[in-house]
Chain A
Amino acid sequence: MKRLQILIGKIIVKMLRLMKRNAGNLPGIILWHISGHKAVSMFKVDCPIIAITGTNGKTSVTNCIAQLFEKSGKKIIINREGNNLDTGICSLLLRHCDMKGKVDADYLILETDESHVPVVYSQLKLDTLIVLDFFRDQLDRNGEMETLIQKINGFCKKFNGNLILNGDDPNTARLGRANPNNKNVKYFHAERYAFATDKIFEASEGRFCPFCGEPLEYEYYQYSHIGKFHCPKCKFGEYEPYITASNIDLEKPVFTADGHEYSPKLNSIYNVYNMTAVAAAAKLYNIDQKIVDGVISGYTVKNGRMENFMLKDRKTTLNLAKNPVGANMTLRVMNEMQGEKELLFVLNDNVADGLDVSWIWDINFSIFERVTRVVTSGTRAYDIAVRIKCSGYDQSKIVVQPDLDKAVEELASTEGRKFVIANYTAVQPTRSALKRYIAKHGGKTE
């Protein structure tokens, strides 16, 4: 039966290829149906599987960990295009298995959607689960935060493999208590950085201890609810970190982890967290230090994640923000930078964005410094304009231009530094619009 399913799957992949179509998800969806909703159960995987999950940072961390193994000369399989549901992973494995369903690799490195962790890894044996963070993200798709955490917690109760958790996020650190018999729970942690605050700065989750209901106490908040916390009553949050990022200086940028200094290319605190997670995986799998240096210091992102463009001579940074945390981070980077700047915010409300755009009200726009003008665009251009206006920003400095090409023209019509924030479905059209501008008026893509 399983062989038949594999055969059918492989035929579909072949047909899609012949039709020059991307076999990203469809074969998996068909197998999901014919296998009784167990889309990955027909595969035989003997090598270790490393899964990366969380709201923000999955793609970056997955790609970096893949590089660690690739540069060590290992054969890996990775879902680079971010097909991270059970059906996407099924399609990926179909392309890499033999007719018996046997997958040939040294390691599988799989970015996995938060809500699909229990589904996928009840069917495939997991060696290591890395959980980065949990933030409000597309709540209307996932249901409420707590339901999501409960799902993964249920999985962790029975899991005895390596569990690498962000020890500075109470939402992920709590998973460390799910299975008291698991001796392989490891926390990563980052020491206070220059822009950390004593009080919470942005709307967030996880204000109360999930075990005893006591308000959590924080030594500092790095961003949102991420920081050094503990519960004064039941001691939740008091653990020995497996790896700690310290001496974080984002101006240079540099940080130290486990005695090694790294000079990452990206200067955000959440990149430090992501790279600390990567360093934790490297430590666990004994990766050669030279390779770790190369990966962490060399990592940079395209695809609209802090991607730089020159619109004529105007330096422009585009960042994806699919939730308030991402947007708040970009605003911080923007504020921490000297001089005047202008912002283009592109907001869509397509199905993949979650139809609800109210998350923009959890972005703290009142911190705007030296922002001389705002252009808004996307299917909900007016919503983001109203939101920025109600934060107290002068509405005469807001230009609404739902047409993306016109919005980019508008942004580039003045001198100076530019920032662009775009949400999930807006980011690729925005990149294209920036590139069209450059093709027409000059400039360059980095």
Chain B
Amino acid sequence: MKKIKVLHMYADMLDLYGDSGNMEILGYRCKLRGIECQIDKYSVDSEMPDFSGYDLIYIGGGADLEQQHISEDLLKCRDGIIEAYKNGVFMFLICGGYQLMGKYYRDADGNEIPGLGLFSYYTVAPSSRKKRCIGNIVIKAEIDGQKVNVVGFENHGGQTQDVKTPFGEVLYGNGNCSKSSAEGYTEKNVIATYLHGPCLAKNPEVTDHMIKYCLSRNTGEEVKLQPLDDKLEKECRKVMLGRLLNK
């Protein structure tokens, strides 16, 4: 049986706007194809895991308070995570998870939470808590060589700057900064994004891309996934695209 191993970090603290749903969806799409999806959890004060022993590391988003809580612990994991990233482990990062992998996150009160510095971007929250980027968002991203309209919901104060390789182009919504044209950050083995909803709910291509990556990383061969009946997901996205883009 094919198998992928996932590490879900800080599931008990970083779980806003359905972020844990991403793990449910990943597990669901693996299960339908007879792929074993082992999801381990890591949180503050758990035993230090072997990060490189996983195929995918997932971190969701949290409120400022929770991000402060975990940041110290996250720094303890720094070497292990950097090594895993260099070994090609896939990094799937939402909102707070995205921000904390950059240089730093400065919150609305001016407190600076150091990031892992894995990537060169940084995030600053405006001093007014009322100025948040909130709403539905559509971005055009390239997934497996195909252009895909990825739909989600963003809700962030933080403005992420100095992003070299964004995940997608904003068609509707804000993106990395208020009214910006770029959203998220990507590399061969990284998808970092502000999209909640959860992110994978209406975008099965993104889930499958990560499953494929993990499997082919194990075997070294190109993997073709058994197609699934995604009519509900596709219809769901169609309704939202129709509503948001045809205004």
Contact = CB atoms under 8 A, between A and B. Distances in A.
A binds B: yes
Interface of A: 139-140, 143-147, 203, 207-208, 213, 355-362, 382-383, 385-387, 389-392, 395, 398, 400
Nearest to A210: B65
Contact of A386 (B15, B64, B196, B201): B201
A361 B236 contact: no
Nearest to A213: B69
Contact of A360 (B13, B18, B25, B232): B18
A359 B198 CA distance: 9
Interface in B132-157: 134-136, 153, 155
Max chain B Cβ within 10 angstroms of own Cβ: one of A382, A392, A400 = A382
Nearest to B11: A203
A392 B28 contact: yes
A203 B16 CA distance: 10
Given A140-B155, A146-B65, A207-B12, A383 B236 contact: yes
Contact of A358 (B17, B24, B135): B17
B37 to A, nearest CB: 13
A355 B201 contact: no
A395 B24 contact: no
A362 B155 CA distance: 17
A387 B13 CA distance: 22
B12 to A, nearest CB: 6
B202 A139 contact: no
B63 A361 contact: no
B229 interface: yes
16 contacts: A139-B16, A140-B155, A144-B63, A144-B65, A208-B69, A356-B197, A357-B197, A358-B17, A361-B198, A362-B20, A385-B232, A386-B201, A387-B21, A390-B25, A390-B28, A390-B201
Interface string B77-99: 00000000000000000000000
Max chain B Cβ within 10 angstroms of own Cβ: one of A139, A207, A387, A391 = A387
A361 B18 contact: yes
A400 B69 contact: no
Contacts of A398: 232
A276 to B, nearest CB: 29
Contacts of B135: 355
Contacts of A389: 232
Nearest to A389: B232
A140 B154 CA distance: 10
A139 B17 CA distance: 9
Nearest to B15: A203
Q: Chain B interface secondary structure, helix, strand, loop or mixed?
A: mixed
Contacts of A144: 63-65
Contacts of A362: 18, 20
Contact of B233 (A356, A358, A386): A386
Contact of A382 (B24, B31, B232): B232
A16 B229 CA distance: 55
Contact of B18 (A145, A207, A359): A359
A68 to B, nearest CB: 38
Nearest to B26: A390
A382 B15 contact: no
A395 B232 contact: yes
B155 A400 contact: no
Nearest to A398: B232
Given A382-B236, A385-B232, A392-B28, A356 B153 contact: yes
A344 to B, nearest CB: 16
B76 interface: no
B153 A361 contact: no
B235 interface: yes
B238 to A, nearest CB: 8
Contacts of B25: 390
B18 A358 contact: yes
B198 to A, nearest CB: 6
Interface in B204-247: 229, 232-233, 235-236, 239
Interface string B174-216: 0000000000000000000000111001100000000000000
B33 interface: no
A331 B196 CA distance: 24
A392 B27 CA distance: 10
B129 interface: yes
Contacts of B17: 139, 356, 358-359
A211 to B, nearest CB: 13
A358 B20 contact: no
A375 to B, nearest CB: 13
A382 B242 CA distance: 13
A93 B59 CA distance: 49
Q: Pick the 4 closest A-B CB pairs, nearest first.
A: A361-B18, A358-B18, A361-B21, A382-B236
A368 B12 CA distance: 24
A417 B129 CA distance: 47
B196 A356 contact: yes
B155 A356 contact: yes
A181 B236 CA distance: 54
B239 A382 contact: yes
